[in-house]
Amino acid sequence: MKRSLALVLLAGSALAGPALADDAALRAAAKESFEAIPMQPPALPSGAAITREKVDLGAMLFFDPRMSKSGLFSCQSCHNVGLGGVDGLETSVGHGWQAGPRNAPTMLNAVYNIAQFWDGRAPDLAAQAKGPVQAGVEMNNTPDQVVATLNSMPAYVESFQAAFPGENDPVSFDNFALAIEAFEATLVTPNSKFDQFLMGQDGALNEQEKRGLQAFMDKGCNACHNGINMGGNGYYPFGLIEKPGADILPEDDRGRFAVTETADDDYVFRAAPLRNIAITAPYFHSGKVWDLKVAVDIMAESQLGEKLDEATLDDIVAFLGTLTGEQPEVVHPILPVRTGATPKPAPM
C-alpha cells in the first residue's frame, strides 16, 4: 500500500513538473507586457496627497446629484461603482434626457490611465471631474453654481476646510475636482486571477485561460493593451488594418482629432483598458457591441487583420474574464442637508 501511494505521488509530481515549468515561462513572458495592480491605491500623478478627509469629501461629491443643474445626475449616474464603474448603456443619459455621444468608460483603475476620456482630452482625474459637470448633455451646471451650492451647506464648508487646511477659500471648483480625484484614485480592483498569476501563484489560471493569455500575446493584442491597466496608456487608430462599419465607428466621431486637429489623429482613440472588461459591456466608444466575443472578433479583424477561429476567440474571452479584480465596496455617504440658501433644482 505504501509503495502504491509512493508511485502515485511520484507520478503526480512528474505530471506537475512540466505544468509548473509552463506556468513559469508563460508568467515570464506576460510580465514583459503586464503588471499586477498593487493592493494599495497609487500616488496621484500630480504628487498631491491623498488624505482621508479628501477621499471622504470626494465620495460625497461623487454621489451628490445636486452637483447637476437638475439635481438628478451625479458622477455615480454614469460611473456606477456597483456596475464595474459604468452605467450599462450604449451612451449615457444626461440633462433633458439627452443621450451622450459616447459610451461611458469605467472609472475603476482610471488613475492608471495616461489621460481621461476616449480622446484623452483630460490629462488627469481632476481635469476629467470638471468636464461632465459643465457639459450641456450631462450635468449642465456651471462652476459658480457648484460653488454656490456647496457654500450653502455648512457641512460641506466644514468638509472642504478639513480636506484643504490652511487655504483662505477652500470651497472652490478646483478643490471640488481635486477631492473627486482623490476618491476615484481609491477605486482600484486588485487581486484578479491574472494578478495572482503574475505574482507567482501557480494554478491561478486554468488551461483555457492560459491558452487565451498565450494567444493574446501571440496575436499581438498586447501591442496596444499592456501595462498595469491592460490599455489606457496609448492612442491608436480604430481600424488600423480594416475599418469596422459605421455603426461601430461612427463617421462623425473622429476621436482625438477633435482635441489635436492633427490629421494623424483622425479616428484615433485611447486604447480601452481591459481590466474588468467582462463586466463592463457594452463595448467601444460607440457602445454598439454587447458581446465580448464579438468585440474580440472585431478587434482582431480591424486592428490585426486576422480572422480568429472560434476556439481561439473562446480562449481569449476566457483569459479576459481573469482580469476582473476585487470590486471596491463603497458605502453611500450621508450627504449634507440643504438649507434655504441652496439653489433649487432647475427643470429640464
| Burial bucket for residue 125 (CB in 10 Å: 0-12, 13-18, 19+) | buried
Residue 330 placed within a domain: no
Number of domains making up the chain:
2
Domain boundary among 135, 152, 185: 185
Residue 342 placed within a domain: no
User: What is the Cα–Cα distance from 230 to 36, expressed in whole angstroms?
Assistant: 10
User: What is the Cα–Cα distance from 334 to 156, expressed in whole angstroms?
Assistant: 11
Number of Cβ within 10 Å of residue 341's Cβ equals 10
Q: What is the pLDDT of residues 4-30, one digit of tens each?
A: 434 333 344 344 445 555 899 999 999
Residue 305 placed within a domain: yes
Q: What is the pLDDT of residues 247-298, one digit of tens each?
A: 899 999 999 999 999 999 999 999 999 999 999 999 999 999 999 999 999 9
pLDDT at 167 over 60: yes
Residue from 138, 181, 184, 209 carrying the catalytic annotation: 138
User: With pLDDT > 70 as the criterion, what percentage of the chain qualifies?
Assistant: 94
The domain that holds 164 is classified in CATH as 1.10.760.10
User: What is the Cα–Cα distance from 295 to 275, expressed in whole angstroms?
Assistant: 15
Domain that holds residue 232: 5-33+191-321
Q: What is the pTM of this model?
A: 0.92
User: What is the Cα–Cα distance from 23 to 193, expressed in whole angstroms?
Assistant: 14
Would you state the pLDDT for residue 43?
Answer: 84
Domain boundary among 185, 213, 245: 185
Residue 333 placed within a domain: no
* Contact predicate 172/112, CB 8 Å: no
For residues 166 and 264, membership in a common domain is answered with: no
Active site residue 138: yes
User: What is the Cα–Cα distance from 118 to 97, expressed in whole angstroms?
Assistant: 22
For residues 275 and 236, membership in a common domain is answered with: yes
